[in-house]
Chain A
Amino acid sequence: MLKNRIIPCLDVKNGRVVKGINFIDLKDAGDPVEQAKIYSEGGADEICFLDITASNENRDTIYDVVERTSKKCFVPLTVGGGVRSIDDISKLLNSGADKVSINTAAVQNPKMIIESSKKFGSQCIVVAIDAKKNDNKWEVFTHGGRNNTSINAIDFAKKMEDSGAGELLVTSMDRDGTQIGYDNDLMFKISSTVNIPVIASGGVGNLDHLVDGIKLGNASAVLAASIFHYGTHSIKEAKQYLNSKGIPVRN
């Protein structure tokens, strides 16, 4: 039986973890590689890096991070943030990423999803959709949530599936950083519209939120950052909790 996945996400800026766990035995707590290794040893089903490096001159730092991580972690590694071109995807994959998540570029240039999924295979193309509720619908935002495109998120999700995306990483901008749980209506709407796996993101504050993302949001995988970063919960605890609620997880 296929298991639901737990994916810890690390924000990386200029090659360093922005928010990090404080493990005393860590040689370098700001090193994404060390953090990723702890997650993978703790049973994370995948690791996700979100590169939030702002300046162009430091963009290349992520390739080194990915390369070093992929030599230490033997679970799938997804990297997103600032992916603008086929060449960016190619460089990340060659550095050792298994999947690349694409956000703004997927909206601005949907053809890139068609081309990249043909070139590299759908299995490595994750489209990240940032959505915000407006009345009774959700709209797609780009540029890290700053620009409203007014595109209907549900329609866009379907379009991305048709373009060849292998998975959708759906983040509720309303919930991101609030710790009050995923927007499960949004997750459910998208998940029941498309036939590719949906990864829920944005808003996790406790372990019940992970359970809800799967049970109410119908997500195949749940992504969280701060509850794992700040050591509120370990991956192992999260898995035990999901298991106790009848959700199949990898042991």
Chain B
Amino acid sequence: MNVTIVDYNSGNISSVINSFKEAAKDKVKIEVTSNLNKIKSSDKLVLPGQGSFKSCVDALSSINGLIETLNEFAIINKKPLLGICVGLQMFADLGYEEIETKGLGWISGKVSKIDNQNNKFKLPHIGWNDIKIIKESRIFKDIENKSHMYFVHSYEFIPDDKSTISATTEYSSNIVCSVEKENIFGTQFHPEKSDRIGLKLIENFLNL
């Protein structure tokens, strides 16, 4: 099996590469590329993302044909894709970081700033928070409810269709931290930085 981490200059992805290679244990081939043909022929994709919603969408758009290739992969061919952090946020129709920016539109909804209740909660939401698994998801196999994951973000994805939400976390309000829609998976937290439990989630994705 071939799994590709999409390298589109979205910031620092070395931890994503390291953790996927660790979880793959030579059983799965991990590619890191923006080459469209390699992406097309992959069995699964990982879409990381750091920085702002706008900077990530801009970075995707600046590679000719990449968005079309991702659409074909995830929407037409329905092959498994995991979005991490802003990679998940870009599933939305719209993001409001910096300025209103169009997303991939794979899961209807918007990405807006976490309401920190007049500075009662610090932003970014940084650190370990426990997740509430609200929908059985194959990426949570053997992962207990209330497991801790590592978060770093100031914006949250609010999907229109609540049935796509697979886990939430509590920070000033209930924040969506994992979504699943058919073959599309996303985590707001960073499985690559979430110790053994994060590696387990990555392994689950590789084993889909």
Chain A interface (Cβ < 8 Å from any Cβ of B): 1-5, 40, 45, 70-71, 74-76, 93-98, 120-124, 166-167, 195-197, 220-221, 250-251
B residues near A (Cβ < 8 Å) are 11-12, 14-15, 18-19, 21-22, 50-52, 55, 116, 119, 122-130, 148, 150-154, 170-171, 192-196, 198-199
Whether B122 pairs with A220 at a CB distance below 8 angstroms is: yes
B188, chain A: closest CB distance, angstroms? 12
Contacts of A75 in B (CB 8 A): 150, 193-195
A166 touches B124 (CB 8 A): yes
B12 lies within 8 A of A74 (CB): no
Are the CB atoms of B127 and A5 closer together than 8 Å? yes
Interface residues of A, dominant DSSP: loop
A1-B129, A2-B127, A74-B22 known; A251 vs B148 contact (CB < 8 Å): yes
29 pairs of residues in contact across A and B, judged by CB atoms under 8 Å: A1-B130, A2-B127, A3-B130, A3-B148, A4-B127, A5-B128, A70-B14, A74-B19, A74-B192, A76-B150, A94-B14, A96-B14, A96-B15, A120-B11, A120-B12, A120-B50, A121-B50, A122-B124, A123-B124, A123-B152, A166-B124, A195-B116, A195-B119, A195-B123, A196-B123, A197-B122, A197-B127, A250-B128, A251-B148
Cross-chain pair count, CB within 8 angstroms: 98
Q: Which of A95, A98, A120, A167 has the most CB atoms of chain B within a 10 A radius of its CB?
A: A98
Question: Smallest CB–CB gap between A180 and chain B, Å?
Answer: 27
**Is B116 a contact of A95 with CB atoms below 8 Å?**
no
Task: Point out which of B21, B122, B124, B128 has the most chain A C-beta atoms below 10 A from its C-beta.
Answer: B128
Q: A76-B193, A98-B193, A120-B50 are in contact. Are A195 and B15 (CB under 8 A)?
A: no
Residue of A nearest to B118 (CB): A195
Q: A166's contact among B12, B19, B126, B151, by CB below 8 Å, is which? A: B126
What is the predominant secondary structure among interface residues of chain B facing chain A? Answer: mixed
* Cα–Cα, bound, A186→B178 (Å): 38
A45 to B194, CA, bound (A): 9
Question: Which residue of A45, A122, A197 contacts B128 across the interface (Cβ within 8 Å)?
Answer: A45
Residues of A within 8 A of B14 (CB): 70, 93-96
Nearest first, the 4 A-B pairs at minimum CB distance are A121-B51, A93-B12, A123-B152, A250-B128
Residue of B nearest to A92 (CB): B12
- Can you add 19 more A-B contacts, CB < 8 Å, to A196-B122, A196-B124? A3-B127, A3-B148, A40-B195, A45-B127, A70-B14, A70-B18, A71-B21, A74-B18, A74-B194, A74-B199, A98-B12, A120-B11, A120-B51, A121-B11, A122-B124, A124-B12, A166-B126, A167-B126, A195-B119
Which residues of B have CB within 8 Å of A120?
11-12, 50-51
Q: Which interface residue of B12, B52, B194 has the most chain A CB atoms within 10 A?
A: B12
- Docked Cα-Cα span, A122 to B12, in Å, equals 12
Residues of B within 8 A of A94 (CB): 12, 14
Q: Are the CB atoms of B124 and A220 closer together than 8 Å? A: no
Which of A3, A97, A122, A124 counts the most chain B CB atoms within 10 A? A122
